[in-house]
Amino acid sequence: MQTFTLFFLIALLISTLTQYWLAARHISHVRAHRDQVPERFSSQISLADHQKAADYTCAKTRMEYLSIAVNVLLLLLLTLGGGLNMLHEFLATLFDDPLIHGMLLIISVFLIMTATEIPLSYYRTFVIEEQFGFNKMTPAMFFVDLLKQAGVGLLLGAPLLFGMLWSMEKMGEYWWLYAWFGWVAFNLFVLAIFPTWIAPLFNKFTPLEDASLKTRIEQLLNKCGFKTSGLFVMDGSRRSSHGNAYFTGFGKTKRIVFFDTLLSRLNASEIEAVLAHELGHFKHRHVIKRIVFSFVMSLAFLWGLGYLMQQPWFYEGLGVSVSSVPSTALALLLFFLVMPIFTFLFHPLSSLYSRKHEFEADAYAAQNSSAEDLIHALVKLYQDNAATLTPDPLHSAFYDSHPPAAIRVARLQSQGQL
């Protein structure tokens, strides 16, 4: 056995067992606190709603057991099981051009992975979400969305993939730097066109019509120095009863979007507080910081790929014969298939960074709106979305991009008293 094969299997075992252990902890902790609403929330959330959130959380987490197993099995079949190697050699008998061969190889693997995910996604939507009263989709809408996603992915992804493979083939030793410039340009382009070209393919966006609410929001925007191309309502209720709000785009394409489900549930002051939180992300430049961080990490990853694609042990250790080494597409596929395994244990750092941003946005909302209104809005959203109030602390620290409800509300209460 290759040394790198053993290293890969150990890393895979550690990440898989950790995921199962954290999921089991989470289910056990939520079930242990199922029969009593935390005192801080007992006046606003009923025991029935608290138990629904617990059962919903456990159902979703149990579903992850199957998802983890399927992903691990598919990864092993593609790598050490020889799947990539066989697919590569089969396509090599049909196409001589390395760029066409490489694109078809990557697209084929993408289709295999998508086909594996579809049944899991279908079950989540039409069994779990349906069981707890959240799903509003029909099977037809589900599959139409899949076709749209595939079409958008192909339309945008094919040129990017071609440019990446062309750079790897033609640009010499520093191909990874040229590929990185292309990656940065692509991401900025998608961010610019997403609000006006991509998002409307899946949802309907209409200008906010409530005059008094619009006036109130515009006053907050002026106070915070935020310029936007418009305030829009998204028909999120077509697919789900979950609610949210967000702003998207940058420059002249920035827009604020409210789910219609959120507007129907919150009053004007609570909506303002939620928006103030989102503006806090803008004011602290969280989106820009995350984009810059992702660009820096992508540069490091591409540099790493530039090194690994020259190492025979990288291919052989993952089940690809040395004769297949000239395929840059194989190098790209192998790298992005196994990279999550080796970076898995760094996930808590990413979650910690994200929770830090959420606390900063909450503090900004408390300063520019009302901490009490934001608390009321958050509790309603926890209730409506069946978000558990009692997550396992370790599971939450590892995965959650938002702070646990009790910690978040306690901090907002202390800020509201300042």
- Which residue numbers are catalytic? 278, 362
Residue of 327, 318, 409, 328 whose CA lies nearest to 365? 409
CA distance 84 to 78: 5
CA distances to 26, 287, 307, 398 from 349, in Å: 19, 17, 26, 8
CA angle 82, 335, 288 (to 5 degrees): 150
Residue 54 contacts residue 34 (beta carbons within 8 Å): yes
- Write a three-state SS string for 153-205: HHHHHHHHHHHHHHHHHHCHHHHHHHHHHHHHHHHHHHHHHHHHHHHHHCCCE
Taking each continuous run of H as one helix and of E as one strand, the counts in the chain are 17, 4
Q: Measure the CA–CA gap between 275 and 90, rounded to whole angstroms.
A: 53
